[in-house]
Structure formats: C-alpha cells, structure tokens
C-alpha cells in the first residue's frame, strides 16, 4: 500500500510540475470568462452608430423609427433620385424609400445601399413597416389600435416537476443544457486522462525502466499507483478550473458593472442623481446581453447543486477508473503511442457510443434507452450525468453506482492480468486475441 502511495506521488508531482499543466489550468478559465465577457465588451464598444436615411412620402412613419444602439434614423425630404446620387458620396449606411401608397402596395418599400444591407437591418425595417401597414389597414377597417394592443397576449409556459411532494419550478432547457455540458466534460476528462495513463505506461515500457520497478513492486501496484496519480491530477485541474473560473469571472463582472455605471453616468448629464444612474444601469443591463444570463442564473439557482457536484465527482472517478485501467492494459501491450492508438480503438468505442446515446438521453431523460444507458457501467458515467439535472430516482442512482463500482473493480482486475504480461513483452506485434489470452496466463 505504501508503495502505491509512493508511485502515486511520483506520477502526480511529475505531471503537476510540468509547464503544460499550468498553461491549460490557467488558460481554460480565462477562455470561459472570455466567452461571456467579450459580447459584453462589444456592447460597450458598439459606439460606431450608422445612419440610415429615410424618405417617407406617406408621412406615416415619423414616429415609428426609433434610434437604437446600432442605427440612427434621419428623415429627408429630397427626391429619391437626388438622394440616391448623394448616397454614394455620403457616409450613410442605407437609404429607405417609403412610397406614398405604401398601405395599398406594401411591396413598394425599397432599400438602397452602397454595400449589401445587413440582414438584421433589413428585417428591422421590414417589420416596422409591416406593423404600421397592418395597423393602418385595420384602422381603415374600423378596428381601434388600442383593441389590437390589448389583445396581444404572450404565452410563456412555466414548467413544474413534482419531486418529493413539493412543486419546484424547473426549466427543462437549463437541465438539458447542464446535462450536455456535464456529460461532455466527463467524456473529455475520461478520454484525456485515460490517454495520459496509456502514454505513461508506454513511456515506462519503452524506457525499459519498468523491469527495475517491477523488481521492487508488484505490477498491479505500479498500475494502480499510476492510475490514481493521473486521476488525482485530473481532479486537481478540475477543482482549480472551478475556483479560477469563479474568481476570474467575478472580478470581470465587477469590472464590467463599474464600466456600465460609468457609461450610464456619461450618457445622463454629469449632474444626475445616484438614483437616476441606478435606474439607467438597471435598464441597460436588462437590455444588454446580461439579461439572458440573469434569467439563466435564476433557474440554475433552483437546481440541486450539491447533489449534482457530488454525483459528478463520483461518476468522474468511477468512469475514469473503469476506463483508465483498460487504457493501461493496452499501453502495456505496445511499444509506441502510435501502436497504442490503433489498439485502443475497441476501448474507445463504448465511450463514443456513450456520447451518441447522450444526445438522445438529454432529450428523453425518462425513456427506456436513457434508463439502460445510465445503468450499464460502460455507458453509465456519461449518460447518468446527462440525466441527473432532470432528477433521477434514488434506486436507479444506487443501482447505477453499485454496478459502476463492480465494473471498475472488474476492469481493473482484468487490466492488471494483461498488464503484468504486457510490460515485459517486447518485439511482438500484439493483437486483441493475444491480449485476451494473457488474462489467463499464470503469474
């Protein structure tokens, strides 16, 4: 036992001391922060407003076009032909022509531009004109616009899940998203850590140090020490990611908030009261990309985080132990990483199938397929984590966990049988059939 600890320590320290470990550990949280911080920064940077000129012969649209953050609208009285020639020499982004008889001939709407008109601008203009034309036509038919406004109903369903007799607001979208994220994360961690174990085994074998080491420890101890060491490195990295992402993003959001306040202050007069500033900030953050995140945060708050995190840890360890020992077994049978890539394929097939199933499972978390995929140890780590955000019955969780433990004990035993033969076998191209024979060799 003491020797396993010694091996674990070496495996852990040599990996954690590498520069590449710290680079990926630091870069990933920065990248995650950047993904949501960049749109916010673009929101601040979006000051280069474009001007759109409008010639409104009908005179109905004066109040309809409102200046937004991207576009400023200017109404002109010049004839269309002159405006068109002026457009070439001006900095105006686009010219909109609304004919006098727009109500009867809505297709008379024209947009001119030096370059192509952006699709969003075209859509905006079209929908403004379309709305007004509809309103005017309804008015003409004798229906009051107020009545129309009053009858605009928005349907937004609130979904509830019945759990432990308590009605909790749940958001299927959030659960699905989380299911995706967590199971993809699990897939990558198991895959990457497993490959690291395999390459570590190949390194020891091709270095020929393995014979010296197995004269001091049992091969199974060497294998276990390595698997546990690499697993601990993955765990360390994952915890650092969480801590760093949370701290970096909280710093970034504080910075963004203070920037938002500063912007609000400059846009209001410098003498504006604190209350006014706060109101403006609220308005801006609701209008900006932050509002969606806020809503998401609200529904994420209702999820059982402690349960999800602890289950994630369990399925990470279980899935990792289940697969990494197989990676180690394959590593022991080959002499170069290239050879390993070929022979590892049968081990990675169930992982890939897990990912394919997961796509289905997050959409149908209560289906038969989802049930079996989250029970069978080959696919359960990824697929159970895909289901957990939706809520899973305790007995299903229990069964899946017990089977996973039995599974990894079995794969570790199987792998160590192959491993002890493989590490001392040189100069032989090994097939899967050969590997399965090694399981039954006597020590």
Partner 1 sequence: MSQPLLEARHVVKRYANHTALNDVSLSIPQGCIFGLLGPNGAGKTSLIRIINQITAPDEGEILLHGEHLQPKHIADIGYLPEERGLYKKMKVGDQLIYLARLKGLSQREATERLKQWFIKFDIRDWWDKKVEDLSKGMAQKCQFIATIVHDPKLIILDEPFSGFDPINANLLKDEILELKAKGATIIFSTHRMESVEELCDQIALINRSQVVLKGDKRAIKRQFMDQTYTLEYLGSLALSEHYELISSTEVEPGVYRSQVRILPGGHVNDLLTQLIAQVELKQFSEHVPSFNDIFIQVVGETPTQALIP
Interface residues for partner 1 in 379-438 (CB under 8 A)? 424, 426, 437
Q: Which residue has the tokens 């393995």?
A: 210
Residue-wise DSSP of 310-332 = HHHHHHHHHHHHHHHHHHHHHHH
**Contact between 207 and partner 1 (CB under 8 A)?**
yes
Interface residues for partner 1 in 10-39 (CB under 8 A)? 10, 14
What is the spatial distance between Cα 422 and Cα 186, in angstroms, rounded to a whole number? Answer: 29
**Contact between 119 and partner 1 (CB under 8 A)?**
no
Of 31, 74, 148, 212, the residue at the interface with partner 1 (CB under 8 A) is 212
Of 214, 240, 279, 376, the residue at the interface with partner 1 (CB under 8 A) is 214
What is the spatial distance between Cα 72 and Cα 380, in angstroms, rounded to a whole number? Answer: 55
The answer to whether residues 61 and 98 touch, using CB atoms and an 8 Å cutoff, is yes
- The SS3 of residue 218 is coil
For partner 1, the closer CB: 217 or 279: 217
The answer to whether residues 441 and 424 touch, using CB atoms and an 8 Å cutoff, is no
Of 213, 240, 308, 376, the residue at the interface with partner 1 (CB under 8 A) is 213
For partner 1, the closer CB: 208 or 368: 208
Binding span for partner 1 by CB under 8 A among 76-84, 91-99, 110-118, 201-209: 201-209
Total interface residues for partner 1 by CB under 8 A = 25
Taking CA atoms, 222 is separated from 3, 4, 320, 325, in Å, by 8, 7, 17, 12
CB atoms within 10 A of CB 379: 22
For partner 1, the closer CB: 323 or 438: 438
Q: Are strands 71-76 and 50-56 parallel, antiparallel or unpaired?
A: parallel
**Contact between 443 and partner 1 (CB under 8 A)?**
yes
Binding span for partner 1 by CB under 8 A among 62-70, 213-221, 307-315, 396-404: 213-221
**Closest among 337, 326, 329, 396 to 361, alpha carbons compared:** 396
What is the spatial distance between Cα 149 and Cα 187, in angstroms, rounded to a whole number? Answer: 50
What is the spatial distance between Cα 8 and Cα 14, in angstroms, rounded to a whole number? Answer: 10
Tokens of 90: 């001006």
Least distance between partner 1 and beta carbon 278 (Å): 57
**Contact between 211 and partner 1 (CB under 8 A)?**
yes
CB atoms within 10 A of CB 10: 13
Least distance between partner 1 and beta carbon 212 (Å): 6
CA angle, 438 as apex, 434 and 439 as ends, to 5°?
Answer: 125
Which class for 4: exposed (0-12), middle (13-18), buried (19 or more C-beta within 10 A)?
A: buried
Least distance between partner 1 and beta carbon 123 (Å): 58
366: phi then psi, degrees, rounded to nearest 5:
-110, 10
Residue 111 contacts by C-beta under 8 Å, 6 or more apart in sequence?
A: 94, 95, 96, 97, 117, 122, 125
For partner 1, the closer CB: 91 or 442: 442
For partner 1, the closer CB: 56 or 204: 204
What is the spatial distance between Cα 441 and Cα 418, in angstroms, rounded to a whole number? Answer: 9
For partner 1, the closer CB: 101 or 203: 203
Tokens of 207: 């270095």
For partner 1, the closer CB: 11 or 132: 11
Of 66, 91, 140, 208, the residue at the interface with partner 1 (CB under 8 A) is 208
Least distance between partner 1 and beta carbon 8 (Å): 12
Of 20, 215, 273, 338, the residue at the interface with partner 1 (CB under 8 A) is 215
For partner 1, the closer CB: 351 or 423: 423
Interface residues for partner 1 in 292-311 (CB under 8 A)? none
Least distance between partner 1 and beta carbon 443 (Å): 5
For partner 1, the closer CB: 49 or 436: 436
Least distance between partner 1 and beta carbon 224 (Å): 14
Q: What is the binding site for partner 1 (CB under 8 A)?
A: 3, 6-7, 10, 14, 203-204, 207-209, 211-219, 424, 426, 437, 441-443
């Amino acid at each position: 036992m003491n020797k396993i600890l010694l091996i674990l320590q070496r495996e852990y320290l040599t990996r954690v001391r590498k520069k590449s470990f710290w680079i990926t550990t630091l870069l990933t949280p920065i990248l995650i922060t950047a993904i949501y911080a960049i749109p916010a920064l673009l929101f601040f940077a979006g000051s280069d407003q474009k001007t759109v000129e409008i010639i409104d012969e009908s005179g109905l649209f004066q109040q309809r076009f409102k200046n937004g953050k991207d576009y400023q609208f200017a109404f002109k009285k010049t004839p269309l032909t002159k405006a068109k020639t002026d457009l070439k020499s001006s900095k105006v982004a686009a010219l909109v022509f609304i004919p006098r008889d727009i109500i009867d001939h809505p297709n008379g709407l024209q947009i001119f531009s030096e370059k192509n008109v952006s699709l969003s601008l075209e859509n905006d203009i079209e929908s403004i004109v379309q709305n007004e034309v509809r309103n005017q036509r309804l008015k003409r038919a004798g229906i009051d616009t107020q009545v129309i406004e009053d009858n605009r109903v928005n349907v937004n369903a609130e979904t509830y899940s019945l759990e432990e007799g308590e009605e909790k607001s749940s958001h299927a979208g959030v659960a699905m998203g989380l299911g995706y994220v967590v199971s993809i994360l699990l897939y990558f961690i198991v895959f990457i850590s497993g490959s690291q174990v395999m390459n570590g085994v190949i390194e020891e074998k091709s270095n020929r140090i393995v014979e010296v080491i197995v004269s001091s420890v049992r091969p199974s101890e060497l294998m276990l020490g390595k698997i546990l060491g690499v697993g601990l490195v993955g765990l360390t990295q994952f915890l650092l990611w969480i801590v760093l992402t949370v701290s970096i993003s909280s710093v970034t959001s504080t910075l963004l908030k203070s920037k938002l306040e500063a912007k609000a202050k400059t846009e209001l007069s410098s003498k504006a009261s604190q209350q006014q500033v706060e109101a403006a900030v609220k308005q801006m953050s609701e209008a900006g990309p932050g509002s969606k995140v806020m809503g998401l945060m609200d529904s994420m708050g209702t999820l059982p985080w402690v349960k999800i995190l602890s289950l994630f840890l369990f399925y990470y360890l279980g899935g990792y132990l289940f697969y990494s020992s197989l990676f180690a077994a394959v590593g022991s049978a080959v002499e170069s990483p290239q050879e390993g890539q070929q022979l590892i394929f049968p081990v990675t097939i169930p992982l890939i199938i897990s990912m394919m199933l997961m796509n289905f499972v997050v959409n149908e978390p209560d289906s038969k397929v989802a049930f079996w995929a989250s029970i069978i140890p080959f696919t359960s780590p990824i697929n159970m984590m895909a289901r957990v955000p939706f809520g899973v019955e305790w007995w299903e969780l229990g069964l899946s966990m017990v089977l996973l433990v039995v599974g990894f004990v079995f794969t570790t035993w199987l792998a160590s049988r192959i491993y002890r033969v493989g590490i001392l076998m040189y100069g032989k191209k090994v097939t899967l059939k050969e590997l399965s024979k090694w399981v039954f060799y006597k020590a």
